[in-house]
Amino acid sequence: MKNISIELDKSQFIGIINRLDDNDKMEIFNELKKSLFLKRFNKLLKSTKTKELTLDEITNEVESVRKQRYEKGEQIL
């Protein structure tokens, strides 16, 4: 198979995508979503990383909220 290279700027690329049918757009969308998920997830982890909370503190807070919800009848079944 012979390869062909072309140069497109972003607006040209978007124009080509806009001319595709919905199935092709969804296929491209899903590929982009897969390729960006890990990067976005790692960025989220880095932004929420803290040394100020211990696992015990988090567990105590979760148990406290669960107890409050249970007492109010808001538990999730």
Q: What's the CA gap between 76 and 55, in Å, rounded? A: 23
Q: Are the C-beta atoms of 66 and 75 separated by less than 8 Å?
A: yes
| Measured CA angle at 46 (ends 42, 48), to 5 deg | 115
What pLDDT, in 10s, does the model give residues 5-60?
Answer: 999 999 999 999 999 999 999 999 999 999 999 899 889 888 887 778 888 988 99
pTM: 0.49
Proportion of the chain above pLDDT 90, given as a percent: 56
* Structure confidence by residue, pLDDT tens digits, 7-18: 999 999 999 999
- Does residue 76 register a pLDDT over 90? no
